[in-house]
Chain A
Amino acid sequence: MGTEGIRAVFSLARSGFRLDVDLDLPGQGVTALFGHSGSGKTTVLRCVAGLERAQEGFLSVNDEVWQDDSIGVFMPTYQRSLGYVFQEASLFAHLSVRKNLEYGQKRVPLASRKVAFEQALALLGIESLLSRRPESLSGGERQRVGIARALLTSPKLLLLDEPLAALDQKRKNEILPYLERLHDELAIPILYVSHSLDEVAQLADYLVLLDHGQVVANGPLQETLARLDLPDAFADDAGVVLKTVIAAHEEADALTRLDFRGGSIYVASRPEPLGRQVRCRVHARDVSLTLEQPSATSILNIVPAIVVGVADTEIRAHVLVHLDAGGTPLLARITRRSHDRLGITGGLAIWAQIKAVALLG
């Protein structure tokens, strides 16, 4: 009945809100549920956890059926092999950090324990906090303990509900690397709810875009971010993510070369070793287009690309151009006048000048 991956069909009606989703999600990697507040992304997560019950629903996680209302199956939350991290860590105030961590772990049969205590401590850097009380921890520490506590149940699915939303930028930067490590080191699929495009760009492999309880789009991160029919969702933040590898350090000019499928770009010298994978965001507003390869320009990063399509934006003066740079999607936001003057149309070979690249992480 189930298939590899996560199948989630929920419909739920509440006063002033209707949720209607039908999702086929990958059974591995990080899937981001992205949308504005009120889009229903947290409700979807709570339905997956069984904390909320959709009136009509079907949910299977890698071959295990957790809910199927057509045959009256609804597995209560505590029987689902999942880990859940709330927006505020929700540690038990009456237990020490160690007892909090052990709470879930000791309720899992020995044979199912795959994440070792020390491994979780090391992964989240909380070895020194074990004897502390939750109220004595900083927000970032609490959240890390919350994540470790969820991991220690060796879940088959990890659910993160805006785990960084309650933290300031400094704390976010403190936790993001740990989340990246989860992604890289554990084979647990993660559903990540967020309204921050930066977090999504940094962590996600797959993107689900929600609005008013409906799925507006879903697909692999890079392709979905480059879609032209979703300008409202991203607005001024429209842009793509490049998955790059550190290819060369050119010390003479203090530059680092990043290679991606379809080209390479230079950024100011990076500390990461050769071969390390890094993600970059390229905003559409930072990409301009030219018909001929420019020779006399101060712009360093110029990649050849083919025009895939053009779309209007909410600002009438601007259009959004979808490009294919040797297999990697790019977006460029240019003025309507330039678009007309250059005669930009699908299939045109063109040069994309990238003015700015934001490295994530």
Chain B
Amino acid sequence: MADLNTVDLSAIKLTLELASLTTCLLLMIGTPIAWWLARTRSRLKGMVGAVVALPLVLPPTVLGFYLLVVMGPQGPIGHLTQALGLGLLPFTFPGLLLASVLYTMPFVVQPVQNAFEAIGERPMEAAATLRAGPWDTFFTVVVPLARPGFLTAAVLGFAHTVGEFGIVLMIGGNIPGKTRVVSVQIYDHVEAMEYTEAHWLAGGMVVFAFLVLFALYTFNNSANRTKD
């Protein structure tokens, strides 16, 4: 590991922190959204679904640009954070976290929503006839039945956050120890012609991404097989 200097290590640590926090926040925020999308008959469903899915098709720079604007000194979020005495979010870790959450949202919401939809009404009705209230039913029937969906969501959310670059650069900038994550660090190495260092990090990312997806697909296959 001689080729990983302290700056690299701090980038790795920061990346893991960002990805873990993003995933946790998204499971908390995304689950109710997924639940609502899976169960609602509201006409707003299409619109909300489209907004959640936007990051799938938009270039990260577009999202990053607008986030910079709204979180900036003249933007509504900027006004709010300043009024609360939090200062401005761009080029800070919390700002980066907020951007990550928005940008990774569809990767968490969609698998969970699909899992909720696949469960259908019946198990919940059965639980209600067995004296389980709505929260009880959610945690003892819905969550266990949707487990593969949650797992996919968590893994994709984590991996996708680790892999983002454009939005990090726009919102986070490139501040060592604060916002400089692995993908940006690789960019720096390449810019500086430090190909060996870039190889270490880039190769690590390839291995990481492969292992994560491999584990996910293997698990989901075996989960499906036991269901048949």
Contacts and interface: CB of A to CB of B under 8 A. Distances in A.
Contact of B131 (A88, A93, A153): A153
Interface residues of B, number: 21
Contacts of A153: 130-131
Contacts of B128: 50-51, 76-78
A90 B123 contact: yes
Contacts of A29: none
A92 B126 contact: yes
Nearest to A107: B131
A78 B126 contact: no
B133 interface: yes
B225 to A, nearest CB: 11
Counting chain A CB atoms within 10 Å of each CB, the highest count among B126, B127, B130, B145 belongs to B130
A93 B130 contact: no
A150 interface: yes
Nearest to A76: B128
Nearest to A87: B122
A82 B227 CA distance: 30
Contact of B145 (A79, A94, A159): A94
B6 interface: no
A109 to B, nearest CB: 10
A49 interface: yes
A83 interface: yes
B17 interface: no
A104 B126 CA distance: 10
A78 B227 contact: no
A165 B134 CA distance: 29
B65 to A, nearest CB: 45
Contacts of B133: 76, 78
A103 interface: yes
B205 to A, nearest CB: 35
A104 B144 contact: no
Contact of B129 (A93, A108, A150): A150
Contacts of B141: 92, 94
B126 A86 contact: yes
A78 B131 contact: yes
Counting chain A CB atoms within 10 Å of each CB, the highest count among B126, B134, B227 belongs to B126
A84 B130 CA distance: 8
Nearest to B121: A51
Given A84-B126, A86-B122, A78 B145 contact: no
Contacts of A180: none
B136 to A, nearest CB: 8
B70 interface: no
B140 to A, nearest CB: 8
A149 B122 contact: no
Interface in A27-69: 49-51
B132 interface: yes
B122 A135 contact: no
Contacts of A149: 130
Interface string B99-130: 00000000000000000000000110111111
Interface string B199-228: 000000000000000000000000000011
B122 to A, nearest CB: 5
B110 to A, nearest CB: 22
Contacts of B123: 90, 92-93
Nearest to B141: A92
A108 B228 CA distance: 33
A153 B126 CA distance: 12
Top 9 nearest A-B pairs (CB, nearest first) are: A104-B130, A84-B129, A107-B131, A77-B128, A94-B144, A90-B126, A78-B128, A78-B133, A90-B122
Interface of A: 49-51, 76-79, 82-84, 86, 88, 90-94, 103-104, 107-108, 135, 149-150, 153, 159
14 contacts: A49-B129, A50-B128, A51-B128, A78-B128, A78-B133, A78-B134, A90-B122, A90-B126, A92-B141, A103-B140, A104-B130, A135-B228, A153-B131, A159-B129
Interface of B: 122-123, 125-134, 136-137, 140-141, 144-145, 147, 227-228
Given A103-B140, A150-B130, 15 more contacts: A51-B125, A51-B128, A76-B133, A78-B130, A78-B131, A78-B132, A78-B133, A78-B134, A86-B126, A90-B126, A92-B123, A92-B126, A103-B127, A107-B132, A135-B228
